[in-house]
Chains A and B, each alone.
Chain A
Amino acid sequence: MSDRVAVIATHVRRGLFQSAPGVGRHAAIHFVLLIVAFIFALPFLWMASTSLKEATQVESFPPVYIPSPVVWQNYVEALTFLPFHQYFFNTTLISALVIVGDVLSASFVAYGFARLRAPGRNFLFIVMISTMIVPLAVRLLPTFLLFKWMNWVNTFLPLIVPAFFGTPYFIFFVRQFYRTIPQELSDAARVDGASEFRIWWQIMVPLSRPVLIAIGIFAFANVWNDFLYPLVFLTDRTKWTISIALSAMIDATGEDIQFWNLMMAAAFASVAPMVVVFGFAQRYFTQGVTLTGIKG
């Protein structure tokens, strides 16, 4: 079934310029793209370079681009400046549970929206789509009060539990995929006496593996990037996530230029896990966005 996604994802047709590619035009396009590429890469390069400088080189202007000597020790110092190992653990734990919650709930609910009929289903679907435009900030205060009342503030639960109730964006995503699976498959299973629950778990879930992996990765990226919710719900410093720790670190070091190499090392370390995931799963990232780019 991954073929199907691959077909959808890489359904490349010819575009605008492709009818007449001249050498001169190619050179011009490369020229523009290289400049843009440099601009996009600059923050990464500047971060990497600064993270390996010794303090005196951080302060020099015009800047030293290639650090010498290369100070790997910065990473050790940056990551022990605050107990980052704790924050990595916290963030990883939250991410893992949110991934499980989002993947399970999205595929479960999507099955109802995509494959089963009931009065009011389409209305509920429209309601779900509409909730995507409700600003997070609008829901934040009452949600905070609710979790405070449940004594869940300063636990990971407010960040994890909602994922198990389904994220509309992900539900929509899986639903679109489930609709492409031939109806005969589930009909045959029904004739054999399989319950809807079994059809979902034993037919739909295995068939939709690529999409579920894509969702898992998006959920991971969302949690890893999240800032507002951890900031509000995790005030105890042992419960912080990496993003909150980065923010606390810049508060602590303030305007002190001496610390920029450590700041950059910490920032780089916070990006690293995502870079690793991206390296392994790049096709799922791009497939995912291609699938969501469905035309109205």
Chain B
Amino acid sequence: MATVDASAPQAGGKVRLSASRREALWCYTFLSPWLLGFLVFTAGPIVAVFYLGFTRYNVFKAPQWVGLENYVGIFTDDRLFTITLLNTIYFVVISVPGQLLIAFTLAMFLNTRIHGRGAYRTLFYLPMIVPHAAASVIFLWLLHAELGVVKHLLDVFGIPSPLWFQDENWSKPGIILLSFWYVGQTMVIMLAGLQNIPTHLYEAASIDGANVLRRMWHVTIPMLSPTTFFLLVIGLVTHFQVFTFAYIMTRGGPLNSTLFYVLYLYRYAFKNFEMGYASAMATVLFVLVLAVTGITFGTSRHWVHYET
């Protein structure tokens, strides 16, 4: 298509836009809903949260500038904040890699030509459609310290069963178990990734005398690494924000062992109405998630293998 200068008069004597300008205008028109939403619901809030972090603000009176007071408070004077941060890191560090490992193992099994793989896949995916609130209630009863079915099953095998949500050492593992129940999406994406690995790579490896484990190490894992990387980033971002499970199951207890970052932030903002302090915490969370994602991206060139 020929580009016509915008100012060039057309046959009809009217001034017309060039084709490329016209296209650009249409393009911006189509992008405008998102762009507006981005400014109002994402960019604006990020700027606002950064500003509010330097204020004292209880919603009813105008924000009052207090400089770094909130941040000083968070990092030097808030014992619970440290506990919260450690709880969240504990959860992320076990839950995210654990989920990837379980998803990978299940996907490897389902990537075989066995009978009923469709049924297995459906069953493993099914928890994804259970609302987190409902799953929290179910697991509270499943892992009930005296009457739970898990206690009974452990009894049958003679394994002493933990008190789960009544014991500060077992409350986080209980919630992590629940997060593993939601492995379905990760598994299905990994399965799709596995199915995209060309067969000839396996054949070549076999001819070179590689056994199953070597083929997995030298073909499957590198070829799957872009998918794994994508899932790792998404997993980190979402798991840092764990909220619903702890809110419903434990309210942060026992002994603050499940007081996760967003739960603590929620309390400050919507129970104490200390919006300034909560905003400072939100800013710290943002920086933290950015840093973790940034580091993940930074390491990616050492282990993520892109086909050329």
A-side interface residues toward B, CB under 8 Å? 11-19, 21, 26, 29-30, 32-33, 36-37, 40-44, 46-47, 50, 58-59, 61-63, 105, 108-109, 111-113, 116-119, 121, 124, 127-128, 131-146, 148, 162, 164-166, 168, 171, 196, 200, 221, 224-225, 227-228, 231-232, 242-244, 246-247, 250, 257, 260, 263-264, 266-267, 270-271, 274-275, 277-278, 282, 285-286, 289-290, 292-293, 295-296
Interchain nearest-CB distance for A142 vs B (Å): 4
Of B27, B33, B129, which one neighbours A165 at CB under 8 angstroms? B33
- Tell me whether B304 and A109 are in contact (CB under 8 A): no
With A112-B29, A232-B270, A274-B131 already in contact, the answer to whether A138 and B45 are too (CB < 8 A) is yes
Are the CB atoms of B20 and A227 closer together than 8 Å? Answer: no
Nearest CB of chain A from residue B173's CB, rounded to whole Å: 15
The CA-CA distance from A108 to B128 in the complex, in Å, is: 28
Query: Smallest Cβ distance from B260 to chain A, in angstroms?
Result: 10
Measured CB to CB, the nearest residue on chain A to B107 is A15
Q: A108-B30, A113-B31, A128-B34 are in contact. Are A61 and B220 (CB under 8 A)?
A: no
For residue B124, CB closer than 8 A to chain A, the reply is yes
B15 at interface, CB cutoff 8 A: no
Q: Encode B38-74 as 1/0 by CB contact (under 8 A) with A.
A: 1011101110110010000001000000000000000
Q: Are A165 and B40 in touch, CB under 8 angstroms?
A: yes
Query: Quick check: B220 and A16 within 8 Å, CB to CB?
Result: yes
Known contacts A16-B108, A121-B27; decide if A243 and B131 are in contact (CB<8 Å).
yes
Roughly how many angstroms separate A221 CA and B40 CA in the complex, as a whole number? 25
Inter-subunit contact A166/B262 (CB<8 Å) = no
- Contacts A15-B112, A16-B212, A270-B134; is A293 near B192 (CB within 8 Å)? yes
Enumerate B93-142 residues with CB–CB distance to A below 8 Å: 106, 108-115, 120-142
The answer to whether B230 and A128 touch across the interface, beta carbons within 8 angstroms, is no
A247/B133 in contact, CB under 8 A: yes
Q: How far is the CB of A289 from chain B (nearest CB, A)?
A: 5
Q: How far is the CA of A274 from the CA of B120 in the complex (A)?
A: 19
> Known: A37-B120, A46-B142, A117-B23. Contact between A138 and B185, CB under 8 A?
no
Other than the known A137-B265, A289-B185, what 17 A-B pairs have Cβ atoms closer than 8 Å? A15-B112, A17-B113, A26-B114, A37-B124, A40-B181, A41-B123, A111-B30, A116-B24, A133-B233, A144-B269, A145-B275, A228-B243, A228-B244, A231-B247, A242-B131, A274-B131, A295-B226
CA distance A61 to B151 in the complex (A): 10
CA distance A59 to B148 in the complex (A): 10
Given A13-B196, A42-B149, A166-B37: A246 and B134 interface contact (C-beta under 8 Å)? yes
Candidate in B40, B133, B275 with the most chain A CB atoms within 10 angstroms: B133
In whole angstroms, what is the CA distance A293 to B132 when docked?
A: 23
Q: Nearest CB to that of B249 among chain A residues?
A: A250
Q: Are A171 and B265 in contact (CB under 8 A)?
A: no
* A contact residues around B125 at 8 Å (CB): 285-286
Residues of A within 8 A of B121 (CB): 286
CB distance from B207 to the nearest CB of A (A): 11
Measured between C-beta atoms, what is the minimum distance from B151 to chain A in Å? 8
